[in-house]
Chains A and B, each alone.
Chain A
Amino acid sequence: MKNALLFPYNARYWGWTFITLSLIGTILLMVTQIEPTYLDLKMPALAADTLFSNNRTWFRLIENNIADELFAIIFLLGCIMVGFAKERKEDEYTALLRLQSLMWSVYIHYSLLILSWLFVYELSFIWVVLGGMFAFWVIFILRFRWVLWKAKNSTLDEQ
């Protein structure tokens, strides 16, 4: 089955490499609290409000260390490549499993988000926002790999 929106099969290896590197980088960043100085850059910010400030500023250059932004982007790119890489034998059944997994992910992700809106407040909600950005892809990839694995190891076989 031809689907021009999918990446080639080998993109998954790049994807997993990106995910691994970004996770290692993020953990190192959190544990050591050391941000590489060469990533201190002036970035064009569309919006950049400071905490507890009423001064809303638009379109200005801000000084920022982009290590965490870089790891987040690499992680998401990795997820997209893993999730949307063709299978070795890509066919219509695989496409159905992928679509179902995407729907599962939407349902679970937004159910969790609704619960979070109801039960998480104030600064703690930042964790919901942060987690929410990545949860969709994590749920999708886990569910898709799980159903593919189940299908490949199905016990009902030929006779």
Chain B
Amino acid sequence: MNNNIFLARAERRITQAQLADALGVSRQTINALEAGKYIPSTLLALKMARYFNKQVEELFYLTEEDESDPRAL
């Protein structure tokens, strides 16, 4: 799974720390998320979508690898 968090954050002109504070998570979480090292829980994904006023699918999307291999985690 990949995400557009970096772009959404850039649109809003906010830092990772500001986004982390707004969502009640650590800056490391946002950093790991943007780097593709971490897939968030549904709860956090929904919170992010609400914060950016976007659909979850606009922020998170499946890669070709995810779609071709249903067992991929």
A-side residues, CB < 8 A to B, are 87, 89, 91-94, 96, 148, 151-152, 154, 156-159
B16 in contact with A91 (CB, 8 Å): no
B26 in contact with A87 (CB, 8 Å): yes
| Prevailing SS type, chain B contact patch | helix
Give residues 15-45 of B contacting A (CB, 8 Å): 15-17, 20, 24-26, 28-29, 31-35, 38, 40-41, 44
A78 CB, nearest partner CB in chain B, Å: 25
A91 in contact with B25 (CB, 8 Å): yes
Q: In the bound complex, what is the Cα–Cα distance between A156 and B38 (angstroms)?
A: 14
Contacts of A91 in B (CB 8 A): 24-26, 29
B28 in contact with A152 (CB, 8 Å): yes
Contacts of B16 in A (CB 8 A): 157-158
B9 CB, nearest partner CB in chain A, Å: 7
Contacts A92-B44, A93-B26 aside, 20 further interface pairs with beta carbons under 8 A come to A87-B26, A89-B20, A89-B25, A89-B26, A91-B24, A91-B25, A91-B26, A91-B29, A92-B40, A92-B41, A93-B29, A94-B28, A151-B28, A151-B32, A154-B28, A154-B35, A156-B31, A156-B35, A157-B16, A159-B10
Given A91-B29, A93-B29, A152-B28, A158 and B15 contact (CB-CB distance below 8 Å): yes
Q: In the bound complex, what is the Cα–Cα distance between A91 and B23 (angstroms)?
A: 10
Sample of 16 A–B contacts (CB below 8 Å): A87-B26, A91-B24, A91-B29, A92-B25, A92-B29, A92-B41, A92-B44, A93-B38, A151-B32, A154-B28, A154-B35, A156-B31, A156-B35, A157-B31, A158-B9, A159-B10
